[in-house]
Structure 1
Amino acid sequence: MYDDHYGLSGRPFQLTPDPRFYFDSATHRKAMAYLGYGLAQGEGFIVITGDIGTGKTTLVGHLMATIDASRLTAIKIVSTQIEGDDMLRMAAQGMGLSTDGLEKAQILERVERMLGEQSRSGKRTLLIVDEAQNLPVSALEELRMLSNFQAGGQALLQIFLLGQPEFRERLHGTERLEQLRQRVIATHHLEPMTADEIEPYIVHRLSLVGWARNPIFTPEAFAAMYRHSEGVPRRLNALASRVLLLGSIEQLAVIDGADVAAVIADMQGDEPDVVAKPQPAAPEPVVRLAPKPLPAAADEAAQAVEQSLKARIALMESRLEEQDAAIRRILTLLVDWVDGDRDKPDRHSIRSI
């Protein structure tokens, strides 16, 4: 595997979402800002949409790793095409409540009691619903009804809806969802990364698994990766993984545009549009080889690229640390401001469904 060949401690481009590899692209930074604002309000709905593979699940994982679990209970469920009553049962089960043999009214009572207990202990509750585009109107209406639970004039439940672009279209184009629309306090649509974010993204993920600047990617390689992936993280991960596999097979210390083009052609089932690199006449022995020495000119070019990468990495790391610290401060300040601004609520439960 390429991770062994390049001395990496893990696979940086696996397709399974992993919040450890969260990358603060411009669109994800905006999404986190909207989430911070929405969470500070402590009520209503937050809606984040994005095309397949744009990093919605990774964003949620990063959010859950960032929030203070002692002050906010986050519950995540992945929705399917279920009607309202089943949506209620899924939400209750996500909160750790048993629903076996219970009528709807009994489930609602248990949910309200659990949310009230959380509130009295000083904790707010956030329900995260993934794949919201699969939910029929009845299920969305059930979620809206759950958002009506209050105590002392304060909402007991806040809901975060995560879905593909068609959910945004349904939300704004369905008359029956007017009441839900009025309760959306923050919304953002995730866009693909821009061309100048490809290199920082690749470097960021490699750095998290002990990358020692081997291999080095040329600017032409990054440009080819952007053209193929169009900035969609999942597509970029699939391509980068295959490129590193090629690099390990061919013992490459520098990966250029031609190498990326060859991988793209292979993935598309076509012949590469570049001249194929000469292959050895006989199979290589099955032993671990050191990277082939580069010609003097190529070695100088590689060193120049490496020095440039080092400088860029240092700058990006410092910026990412500053941005992460700023986001944490903003979230803490907003939550403190909202909690501090509240009068002591009347603990008697109120339902306004």
Structure 2
Amino acid sequence: MIPVIVLDEIHLATNKILEDLRLLFNFQMDSQNPFVLILAGQNLIRSRLGLNINTPLRQRLAVKYFLQGLRPEELRDYCLSRLKLAGLHEDIFTPSALEAIYGIVSALPRLVNNLVTTCLICACGKKQRLIDEEVVYQAQRELEI
């Protein structure tokens, strides 16, 4: 069994820590893989790994995957799927609300989740069944984004 190590928020790591990670990769890497290391963080890590000082570590990374934000046409389905997981099987977002959500958070899933959750709370407080752009902007103000 191969252990998996996940380092989250790696974009906050110093160059010294990134250098230490490179040294970990040197451990018997030619003959076996002693572990799987997953580096997870914000897009800033891409530019950090692009620095010459981090070239040796970057060269040792076997797979690189970067999550992109949702495309505008994916946002509605994403929101609906999250609502279905919570037990609601109807579309409560107006098209203008979805446009506003996309414009505010660039459809980054974590930010979409935060904004949509706050939208639901705001709409509930107003006893409003549909989420329209007014509710979205109220939620934006509450989140200060």
Q: After superposition, what is the alpha-carbon deviation per residue over 1:32-66, rounded to whole angstroms, capped at 9, x for unaligned? A: xxxxxxxxxxxxxxxxxxxxxxxxxxxxxxxxxxx
Question: Quick one: which amino acid aligns to residue 216 of structure 1?
Answer: I
- Provide closer, same or farther for how the CA distance between residues 177 and 151 of structure 1 changes in structure 2, counting only shifts above 3 A: closer
The offset of 1:160, in angstroms, is 1.4
**Is it true that 1:239 corresponds to 2:115 in the alignment?**
yes
SS in 2 for 1:160: strand
User: Does the residue aligned with 2:86 lie in a helix, a strand or coil?
Assistant: coil
Equivalent in the alignment of 2:17: 139
Once superposed, what is the RMSD of the aligned Cα atoms? 2.5
RCO (CA 8 Å, sep 6+): is it higher in 1 or 2?
1
Q: Would you say the 8 A contact 1:147–1:159 is kept in 2?
A: no
The structure with the largest strand share of the pair is 1
What is aligned with 1:191? 68
Displacement after TM superposition at 1:207 (Å): 0.6
Q: For 1:216, what is the secondary structure of its paired residue? A: coil
Unaligned runs of 5+ in 1: 1-122, 270-353
Work out whether residues 239 and 264 of structure 1, in 8 Å CA contact, stay in contact via their aligned partners in 2: no
The alignment partner of 1:127 has SS state of: strand
**1:166-245 alignment, distance < 5 Å:** 166-173=44-51, 175-213=52-90, 216-245=92-121
Identity %: 30
1:151–1:210 CA distance, 2 compared to 1 (3 A) = same
Q: Provide Cα deviations, 1:173-210, integer angstroms capped at 9, x if missing partner.
A: 2x232221221111122221111111111111111111
CA spacing shift, 1:254–1:164, aligned 2, 3 Å? closer
Which runs of no fewer than 5 residues in structure 2 stay unpaired? Answer: none
For the 8 Å contact 2:2–2:35, the answer to whether it is kept is yes
**Native 8 Å contact 1:247 1:253 kept in 2:** yes
* Aligned match of 2:134: 261
Q: Is the 8 A contact 1:148 1:155 kept in 2?
A: no
Amino acid aligned to 2:54:
L
Contact 1:137–1:177 under 8 Å retained in 2:
yes
Q: Does 1:126 align with 2:4?
A: yes
> 1:141 is matched by which residue type in structure 2?
E
User: Which AA in structure 2 matches 1:261?
Assistant: E
Identify if the C-alpha distance between structure 1 residues 162 and 267 changes in structure 2 by more than 3 Å, giving closer, same or farther.
closer
How many matched pairs? Answer: 142
Per the alignment, in what secondary structure is the counterpart of residue 248 of structure 1?
helix
Provide closer, same or farther for how the CA distance between residues 250 and 147 of structure 1 changes in structure 2, counting only shifts above 3 A.
same
One-letter amino acid matched to 2:56: Q
With normalisation by structure 2, the TM-score equals: 0.80
8 A Cα contact 1:132 1:163, kept in partner: yes
Query: Does the CA-based 8 Å contact 2:115-2:139 persist in structure 1?
Result: no
Larger radius of gyration: 1
Higher helix fraction (1 or 2): 2
Could you say if the C-alpha distance between residues 224 and 135 of structure 1 is closer, same or farther in structure 2, counting changes exceeding 3 Å?
Answer: closer
Query: 2:19 aligned with 1:156, yes or no?
Result: no
**Is the 2:71–2:107 contact (alpha carbons within 8 Å) kept by the matching residues of 1?**
yes
